[in-house]
């Protein structure tokens, strides 16, 4: 087969034509072009998968919202991170006898502005899961460079600074809020999933802080 015949075969082969169109787009955003059945050129653009996305983690804890924020503030000060704090409100569902009723609750938010923890956000609020009493919920927004081992280390250090076990409630607390609610077991499972010892012998404990060898937030850019 001659060179001219090879070029003609490439030009007439639809599979090779498709690869020919993809060749110039190998760096940055990948522009994948293909020919539709009617002969119209179509383009799809997607973001490269190497950049880790922020992760959201919500936990139910046996502490107050202010205690949750205070513990993160102590960790940030010990590590030399800059931070900011603000207060707001959000709508939550309060379970009544027949149906849930939406009501506003106060929220506390803290964001890390610099250092190895840059991009980390903690929001805490209280919800009434039963007829009375409340359960604190904390939502972590974890930047991509902290997912995995760094966040497990942070969560362990954060839990160690609380006056009581974050995933365990007393018999009196469960009786007031609702003894049969699934939150009691669910909270222990969530903390155990992040590597914490949720048995009775696992509390209290000590954690090393500040962290050493965490990834730099600038590596994501």
Instruction: Give the residue extent of every domain in the chain.
Output: 3-46, 55-220
pLDDT tens for each residue of 105-127: 899 999 999 999 999 999 999 98
**d(C-alpha 177, C-alpha 187), whole Å:** 15
- Residue 158 confidence class, pLDDT cut points 50, 70, 90: very high
Beta-bridge mates of residue 68: none
pLDDT tens for each residue of 18-50: 333 333 433 333 333 333 333 333 333 333 334
**d(C-alpha 97, C-alpha 112), whole Å:** 41
Q: Output the pLDDT for position 220.
A: 54
Q: Which residue has the higher pLDDT, 191 or 40?
A: 191
Q: Output the pLDDT for position 31.
A: 36
Whole-prediction pTM: 0.71
Q: Output the pLDDT for position 97.
A: 53
């Amino acid at each position: 087969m001659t060179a001219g015949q090879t070029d003609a075969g490439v030009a007439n082969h639809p599979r090779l034509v498709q690869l020919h169109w993809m060749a110039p787009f190998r760096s940055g955003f990948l522009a994948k072009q293909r020919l539709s059945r009617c002969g119209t050129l179509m383009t799809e653009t997607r973001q490269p998968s190497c950049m880790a996305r922020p992760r959201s983690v919500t936990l139910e804890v046996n502490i107050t919202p202010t205690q949750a924020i205070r513990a993160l503030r102590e960790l940030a000060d010990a590590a030399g991170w800059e931070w900011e704090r603000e207060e707001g409100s959000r709508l939550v569902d309060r379970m009544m006898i027949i149906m849930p009723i939406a009501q506003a609750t106060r929220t506390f938010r803290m964001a890390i502005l610099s250092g190895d923890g840059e991009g980390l956000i903690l929001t805490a609020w209280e919800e009434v899961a039963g007829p009375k009493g409340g359960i604190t919920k904390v939502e972590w927004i974890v930047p991509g460079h902290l997912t995995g081992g760094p966040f497990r280390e942070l969560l362990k250090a954060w839990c160690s600074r609380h006056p009581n076990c974050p995933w365990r409630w007393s018999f009196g607390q469960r009786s007031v809020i609702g003894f049969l609610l699934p939150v009691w077991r669910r909270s222990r499972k969530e903390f155990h999933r992040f590597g914490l010892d949720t048995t009775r012998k696992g509390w209290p404990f000590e954690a090393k802080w500040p962290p050493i060898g965490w990834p730099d937030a600038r590596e994501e850019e």
